[in-house]
Each structure stands twice: as structure tokens, then as C-alpha cells.
A and B are shown apart, each in its own frame.
Chain A
Amino acid sequence: MNIRFKPKVFSSLFYLVFCITSISFGQSDPTGERRVTGTFAITNATVTIAPGKTQQGATIIIKNGLIEAIGSNLRIPIDAQTIKGDSLFVYPGFIDGATSIGVLRPNDPERPANFDPSNPPDEFAGITPWRSVLDHYDIKNSQINDWRKVGFTVAQIVPEGGMLPGKSAIVTYGGKESNNILAKNTALAARFRSTGGGRGMYPGTQLGIMAKFRDLYKNAELSSQHMRLFASNSGLSRPEINKTLEAFFPVLDKSIPVLYEVSNDLELRRAVMLQKENGFRLVVAGITDMDFALDAIKSSNAQVLVSFRLPNDKTANSNTEGLSDEMKARTQKVKDAYIQILGEAGKLEAAGIPFGFTSLGGRSNEMYKNIRLMIANGLSENAALAALTINNANILGIQKFAGTLEKGKLANMVISTAPLFAEEAQIKYVVADGYVFEYEVNNKKSNNNGNGKAVDLSGIWDYTSDTPAGSSGGTMEIKRDGTSYKGTISYDNPSGSGKASSPMNNIILSGNNLSFTFNVSAGGMSLEVSVSGEITDGDFSGSMSLSEFGSFPFNAVKKPNHLNQ
């Protein structure tokens, strides 16, 4: 059976949610589900306040849904429930730049008998910018739990429908006692898809959609001009009130952006084209191949929400043995395209564009895996975290109360058992809107290299790397520095003969996974090289990513330690 929510039924359900909070006043909770206290203390944790800013052994006090304090040696309030943060890592709660989770698609209205498909009323044509997504939102959608479970605490919800489906809103993934709405009418949603309401209805393709957008925009401007004239003059014809055009008014005065959902670089360019012609604020969402359109992003100052959807590696299991050279080359092209997609987010970072992540097109159970792949291919962990937190707060305009862990901000956080993007990291708690959600954690192996022994990086490693220019190599000298590592890497001198060396930065060892970066300078230019991979029995096997230029094999062998001493 096909069950569909009718908008009316839904809004009454929604009303019910409001009622629950009000009628529960003066009532006990016979379900026993209500929490005992809203005050929490997370003690002695490693707290990443914002990307790149980490504090060890810190305590966080949460009260009334807000972060009351962060620091060491804090007095724990008497009504606080304590969460022992020893060996836990706390991050700001994630913000989903745009999502359709929980959003319902309004039913298409029934066509009248004299329906003219070449000139349909706006509602039929997918032009419903006056709609609020909140009227078509199911806060109880079970998928919301899946997304909170991976760390999301705030999301911008985008309406479903046609080319202009409505206005988006911002919600939290907090407790069920609240309606969880943070802001409404936050952006005008737009896309290059028609309604799907049947072939032969205008506008039916991107051609018509772009033309229709231009006409609506221009007429919204004229309509607003007419209204202003009418308000201050007499003897003028009365303006026709048109809810479609009115819905554009906050876009015209730039109080909200147009959130354009795009599926590839060419659609991104089309959104930018419209933006340049009309001058609105633009956010593009859902892209994965943006570096084909970096120039357009830069020239328009569009804000970018990147989908963490990634294709599967189609060539991973293909056996190229026995294939003709031609087929091998073809397989390699698919492989290269795959590697390129993995490096897209890194390239955006390298280009200095502060992007956010969106769950559009992605699946919650693939998020960490995909972001780790992006990190292995050039994205820094800080940028990855920023894309989930502060960048999205900025793009959504909620940085005053979300995006970082600071006193006075909403109590939204993600608490994991290991550094966030480490392979073995598991989410133990998510705090959303001051509500604490606890998750089961499996006991995985950690910090060993398969035979129970912890990996020790310190020592001298010989490495080789393969680029299209040939094979080369050098040494890495790594020393322990308290709980972390320091090191230098040598390589052939780019501007002369012999070897040159650079310090190794951001050395991160989590489990068997090692990653680090180093900078190479030549001819007045500097390039960051990032290396990541896995250690098995003293052998490091991974890849080296040169931001724009792709990713190449990088293998290293540690010299036996007694030789080093």
C-alpha cells in the first residue's frame, strides 16, 4: 500500500506536537521517558572547540540547552549529570548545510478540465516559493535518528517539489519535547529539475526553467517597485498581489539567499549565470565535481555546499590482467576519474573556498568513510571538520549560536572514542539542543598493528613514490614528542641537485592509519603534499596527494630500530 502524508493531516500532527509540550505542564510523566535533568558536565575530555583549536583535559558544562562553561578546574553544578570524558573526544555538533531528510513532497494538485500545459498555474509548474518546508516536515522521521547518530545536531531542511519548491528552514535534532525549529524561511530553494508532473508542462527542461526564473525575478522586481509606488502615491492602478512574486522579495533585498541544488559543475555554472544577471546571494548545494567550475565559484562568491556522496570505485575489483592495452587505458581513465572525485573537496580547500557539507545525495552510513577518503586525497581534517560545523554555521548565518564549542552557544556536540576521522572512531554521545543521546560502542582494536603491539612510528623510514614523472624516494625521520610525533622528510632538491628536506606536519597516527603533510617550495611557489596510508608490520603503504594534480602511490619501510639507535 502506498501511504502518503496529506499536507493537511500533517499540519494537524504538527499542531499535536505543540500541544504535547503545553498540556504536559502540570502533568507527571507516566511513561518514565522524561529526563531527570537538563544540566550536564562532560569532564576531562579532549575538546576541539573549533577546527584546529583543541584543549586537553577540559570540562564542559551544559545548562538550559546552552554551553555554560568550558575549561579546566570548573566547578560542577550540583544538578549536573556527569559524563566521564576521559579518553573521549568532543567536537562541535555537526550542521547539515542542506537536507531533505524528513521533508515530504506535497501532492500535485489535480488538474482542472481546461488545463493548459503550455501555461500552467504556478503550483502545477513546481513554482511554489511561498511554501514553507516546515509545513511539509516530519520531525518524527526515523532517518533523523540515523543522521543524529553520525553527529548532526542542526540541519537546514530544503523543501521538495519543482523548480522553486519553497523556503527552507533550520531545525535542531534535539529532544522530542520541543518543536526544534531554529529559524524559518532561511533560503529560497531552487533547482534545475521540473516538477516531474508529466511531460509537456511548461517549464519542462533546464531551458524553460532558466527562462522562467529570469522572468519571475524580473517581475518580482517590477512588482516590488509597483508596490512601493502605490504605497507612496495616489492615483495609481492597484498592484496585483501575487504570492509567487512576493516570495522573491527577501531575495531581492538580499536578506535570504537562493539555495540552488545542483548536480554537476555545469548546473553550478548555470546557477552562477542567473546570479550574475540578477545579483542575488547564491548558495549552491549538492555538488561533487566543483573543481571543474572553480573559476565560476570564485568569480561569483557563491557559497558552496558539497555533497559527501562519492561513487564506488568501479575499478577496485576489476582484473586488468589479460585485457588489451586499450581496455587497460580505459579502466585507468575510470580509476583516474574516481581518484579525481575523491580529491575534489581538497581542491576546493586549496583554492581557499570555505565550503560546507550537505547530506543531499549522501547516505549517513557512508559519511565517515567518504570523508576519510577525501582526507586521504588532500582534504585537511580541519577543513573537513569546518565543513561540518563552523563553515555551515556561517553559510546558514547561525554562527552566533552554533558551529563551535563556546560559552553561550547551543549545546550541540559530537563525542567520539577516538579522533573524529580516525578509522576506529565511534560516536558515543551526541548532544543536540542540550539533549544527550548515547550510542552503543563496540570494542574495536585500537592502536595496534594486527599482532597486538602498538605501532611505534619513531625511527628512520625509507620511502619511494611513483609519479607520472618517474619513481623517486628519500627518508623520513620520525621522533616521539610527548604523546605525538615530530619528523622531517627528505626529497630530491627541486631547484638544484642533492636532497632537500622539510618538517612533517600534522602527523596523525590512529590505529594503523598514518597521515601527515609537508610543504615543498620551488621557484617562489609552495605546494602542500599530503600523505596517508596504513601500516602493517613496519611497512607503510599509502598514497601521496598533490592537491590539484592527483594522488600517487607512496610506500615506506622502517629500518629495524636497533640500527637507528
Chain B
Amino acid sequence: MKDMKKLLYSLILALLPILVQAQFDGEFVKPRTGKFLLQNATVVTVTKGNIENGSVLIENGKILAVGKNIQANDAEVIDCSGQFIYPGMMDAGSRLGLVEVNSLPETQDYAEIGQVTPNMQALVAVNPNSVAIPVTRVSGVTTTLAVPSGGLFPGTAALINLNGYTPDQMYAGFKGVVLNFPSSARRSTWDRRSDEDIKKEAEAAQKTLNEIWGRAETYHQLQKAKAELQYYPEMEQLSKVVAGELPLLVEVNAATDILSAIEWIQSKNAKAILMGVAEGWRVADKIAAAGLPVIVGPMLSIPTRQSDRYDAAYTNPGKMAKAGVKVVIRSNDAENTRNLPFNAGFAAAYGMGKEEALKAITINAAEVFGVADKMGSIEVGKDATLFVSTGDPFETKSQILHVFIDGYRVPMSSRHIKLYQEFLERSPGLEKN
């Protein structure tokens, strides 16, 4: 063994001069931190209105100042005349980082085997070097909730910022346990079960859920009583939900299921956020009355029923917001998480309005995840996670010019952009010389 190491070592030494001599074109641009002054922009703070000809001063990862006439001699100045500064957009449900190429099982790290696996930690499987992360963040989407999927309790989701080389550098301070609430709906036309079977299966699933929850409560009580318990990581994790330390992220979509879920959540006195909520518009007043926030999306999806109005998915968030529900929007995508602003744009166009839709991907998300002290708006003292654009980021025409995450200025490059740079004018073209 030792000899082997020696051999390798001497080989590397022998090669070193060649490596040093090697020529590299261009320079790799890395994310960098520092003191930045973004000047003369329209600052869309989200929480405190718009500031015309405003500036934002960034240092040590935080927003140091926001307003007009901010001076900082030692800061790197970025002129943003005619441009807009927005807080980083937050996608409240995505697989970004948990999957690289969706058809290759080797790269799918979002669904574990088993029905009750709340102990599966999405944060562990987030790949900080996923090609899709730079592709996403240059669009101004800076933060995503990495959500595992699969069985009844597929795992624990984690909020991440899209910059960093380890999951811990990316972690943005929120975790929640996912529950796929049992459904009593017929799933698509290929679902050939009889109406009765569907009902029976839903009841059985509901019963299973209650049994598991009962076990988690027992575990929690015995744990509180300082009983010596056998290793049981599933219940260990669920007991944190029972204790209210972690919220439940309840994925539920059909109207009747939403009502059952609300009833169930109330009966268990659980801290919960509804996710999916595709038919939320049908029972919006009930969700509002229950005081539960929702993570809805994508808007760019077909109506849940063939009989529904064609725009049912577009209008869903607006209808819920009008009924008084706190609405957060997600893409539920992976590599195309960059479409989050367009989902918000459709929600805005179809009844939600621009202002509410912007909140739904910034401050509302931050509040629902309990991180509003750090994120979700442009305010002094918050993390410097923001972007500069030529216009409304919901409009496809707008260009995103600069992105800052936790005070790091991230390079405006991605594989998509590099391929554009290489192939716009290919050389050689059709003929070689």
C-alpha cells in the first residue's frame, strides 16, 4: 500500500510541470462576496413599496442599506439605471438538486423505498453541483424547497439557497415532513377501480395514517417521559412533528380530500401547510377558515377534471387568495424550476394580480417557512438574496442581469448560456474553410 502511494506521489510530481504549463482559455468566474452598491434602480422591496432611483448596499451577506442616495466609497458599484431590483424568488416545492436526468434511476434521489420514511432527509441528497442549479439561479430563482416524494410519509423537505458547495452552505433554515394525504379521488381515466373500491381503499389508507400517527404520539409521550426506547428513526422523526418542532407539508389535491385533510389536521392539532391544493378553489373558504397556508402549483397544468373550465389551474391561486388564504406558489419542477416566475405570471393574469403573485413567491413563502426575518423582501438586515432585471421578471421579455445569493454575486452563466455562446455562430460553419 505504502509503495503504491509513493509511486503515485512521484508520478504526480513528474507530471506537475506539464500541468503548470498547460494553457487555459478564459477565466472561470466564481461566485464572490464583497461589498456591493446597486445604484439607481427601482427597488421592489415587496414589503415596503417601490423605491424609485433607489440603491441597495450589500456587505457580509446582508443588506446594509436600502433607499435613495446611499453612498459607499469602498463598495463595488453596479449601475442599475432603468433596472429593477427584486428579492430572490423562492420556489416552495421543487426537485431541483435531487435529480439530474429524470429518466435515469441512478440520478433520481427524491423517492426512497417504503411508505413511512419521514427520516429520509432531502438535504442530504441535494447535489450542490447539479448542472440545473446555475441554470435556475440565473433566472432570479434563488431559493427552493427540496421536496422528497413517494409513499405516505416520503421524507423531510429542506429549504435551500442555490449557491454553495455543501448542503449545509445551501441550507436556508426550514425543514418540514411531507405527508401524502390519502386520496379518495379517481386518478385519471386509467384508474379503473369501481367507485366502491376507491372509497374502501381511501378508508383503509386513512386508517393506516391514523395508526401511524397514533404510534408517533405514543413514541413522543414515552420519549417525554424519558423512557428508554428502541431505535425507531421513523417515529423519532414523526415525534418531532407531534411535538410541533417540525411542520407537516400535506400534499393534497382533490376538493374532498382537502376537506378531509383539514379535518384530520385539526383533530390532530398538527402544525401544517397544505401543498398541491389543485382543487383548492372549490373549497377556498374552508381553507381560509381553517387558517392553513397553501403551497400551490404549478399553474401551468391542466385542469384536474375534464369538466372544469379550461383555466381552472391558472385561476386557482387567485381564488384562494381572494378567499383569504395565504398563498405560496411552487413550480413542482426540477430542471425547469426557472419557470416559477411564469407560473406566478399566469396566476397574476388570471385573477391574483401582480402584487399578490409576487408576494406568493417571496415574502409569503418566507413567512410560511418561518424565515421572514432573513428572506422574502428587500429590507435592511435581511440576507442579500436578490436580483436585478430589465423589467418585470414575470415577463418573458425581461432579462435578468445580476443575481446575489447570501451576499454572493453569482456568475451569470450556466451550461445553457455557454452553449449559446459557443453555437450562435459556430466555427466552422457549414463549410470547413
Contact = CB atoms under 8 A, between A and B. Distances in A.
A363 interface: no
A326 B307 CA distance: 10
A330 interface: yes
Contacts of A324: 282
Contacts of A314: 195
B223 to A, nearest CB: 43
Contacts of A330: 307
Contacts of A326: 282
Contacts of B282: 324, 326
Interface string B295-318: 000000000000100000000000
Interface in A314-340: 314, 324, 326, 330, 333
Contacts, number: 5
A330 B308 CA distance: 10
B74 to A, nearest CB: 62
A314 B195 CA distance: 10
A324 B307 CA distance: 15
A333 B306 CA distance: 12
Nearest to A324: B282
Contacts of A333: 307
Interface in A292-331: 314, 324, 326, 330
Nearest to A334: B307
A516 to B, nearest CB: 37
A115 to B, nearest CB: 29
Interface string A249-285: 0000000000000000000000000000000000000
A332 to B, nearest CB: 11
Contacts of B307: 330, 333
Contacts of B195: 314
B379 to A, nearest CB: 42
A324 B259 CA distance: 14
Interface residues of A, number: 5
A320 to B, nearest CB: 15
A314 B196 CA distance: 12
Interface in B256-301: 282
Interface in B172-198: 195
A299 to B, nearest CB: 30
A324 B282 CA distance: 9
A101 B195 CA distance: 29
A306 to B, nearest CB: 25
A498 B18 CA distance: 109
B64 to A, nearest CB: 52
A333 B195 CA distance: 18
Interface string A115-153: 000000000000000000000000000000000000000
Nearest to A333: B307
B168 to A, nearest CB: 47
A443 B278 CA distance: 57
A200 to B, nearest CB: 19
A324 B279 CA distance: 14
A326 B195 CA distance: 20
A326 B303 CA distance: 15
A325 to B, nearest CB: 12
Nearest to A326: B282
Interface in A418-470: none
Interface string B6-32: 000000000000000000000000000
B314 to A, nearest CB: 17
A392 to B, nearest CB: 32
Nearest to B307: A330
Interface in A211-226: none
Nearest to A329: B307
A476 B195 CA distance: 43
A216 B307 CA distance: 41
Interface in B188-213: 195
A319 B231 CA distance: 50
A330 B282 CA distance: 14
B334 to A, nearest CB: 29
A333 B305 CA distance: 14
A333 B308 CA distance: 13
A123 to B, nearest CB: 30
B82 to A, nearest CB: 47
Interface in B237-262: none
A313 to B, nearest CB: 13
Interface string B57-83: 000000000000000000000000000
A205 to B, nearest CB: 15
Interface string A327-358: 00010010000000000000000000000000
A326 B309 CA distance: 11
B255 to A, nearest CB: 9
A326 B305 CA distance: 12
B291 to A, nearest CB: 22
A378 B141 CA distance: 62
Nearest to B308: A326
Interface string B27-59: 000000000000000000000000000000000
Interface string A358-370: 0000000000000
A388 B187 CA distance: 40
A330 B307 CA distance: 8
A476 to B, nearest CB: 39
A6 to B, nearest CB: 31
A326 B282 CA distance: 9
A333 B282 CA distance: 19
A500 B195 CA distance: 48
B343 to A, nearest CB: 25
A215 B118 CA distance: 57
B189 to A, nearest CB: 14
Interface in B138-187: none
B1 to A, nearest CB: 52
B194 to A, nearest CB: 11
Nearest to B283: A324
A521 B282 CA distance: 47
A314 B307 CA distance: 17
A482 B143 CA distance: 89
A314 B282 CA distance: 23
A326 B304 CA distance: 14
A161 to B, nearest CB: 23
A481 B72 CA distance: 110
A564 to B, nearest CB: 49
A324 B281 CA distance: 13
A525 B195 CA distance: 44
B353 to A, nearest CB: 24
A303 B307 CA distance: 34
A324 B285 CA distance: 13
A333 B307 CA distance: 10
A324 to B, nearest CB: 8
A315 to B, nearest CB: 12
B383 to A, nearest CB: 44
A54 to B, nearest CB: 44
5 contacts: A314-B195, A324-B282, A326-B282, A330-B307, A333-B307
Interface of B: 195, 282, 307
Closest 5 CB pairs between A and B?
A330-B307, A333-B307, A326-B282, A324-B282, A314-B195
